[in-house]
């Protein structure tokens, strides 16, 4: 589209836009906005606490699994060593 076509269109849109009847410096979200933001903040904190708990739990499970595998490997090595010493 050319500028010749857009100019009258923009002037119609600009003329149809009513001027605000309020002072934009004093408009606030009010109690509903406060409650909405408070709910989002509380939800975010609860999600962060839950995530930290789950990460900690998975870390402990991985450490315990590694310890169990190390104990099984040490027991297998001890059994193999005992069998080797008994036959010789």
DSSP code, position 24: T
The residues spanned by each domain of the chain are: 28-88
Is the pTM here over 0.95, yes or no?
no
Q: How confident is the model at residue 61 (pLDDT cuts 50, 70, 90)?
A: very high
Q: What is the mean pLDDT of the chain?
A: 85
pLDDT digits (tens, 9 = 90+) for 12-46: 766 666 666 777 777 788 899 999 999 999 999 99
Whether the pLDDT of residue 72 is over 90: the answer is: yes
Cα 84 off chain centre by: 55
Q: What is the DSSP letter of 20?
A: P
Report the C-alpha gap between 16 and 8 in whole angstroms: 12
The proportion of the chain whose per-residue pLDDT surpasses 90, expressed as a percent, equals: 53
Separation of alpha carbons 53 and 37, rounded Å: 24
Half-sphere exposure of 70 (CA within 13 A, CB side): 6
């Amino acid at each position: 589209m050319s500028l010749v076509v857009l100019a009258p269109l923009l002037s119609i849109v600009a003329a149809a836009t009513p001027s605000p009847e309020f002072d934009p410096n004093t408009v606030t979200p009010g109690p509903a906005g406060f409650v909405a933001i408070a709910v989002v903040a509380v939800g975010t904190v609860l999600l962060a606490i839950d995530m930290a708990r789950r990460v900690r739990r998975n870390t402990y499970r991985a450490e315990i699994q590694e310890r169990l595998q190390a104990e099984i490997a040490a027991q297998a090595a001890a059994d193999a060593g005992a069998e080797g010493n008994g036959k010789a």
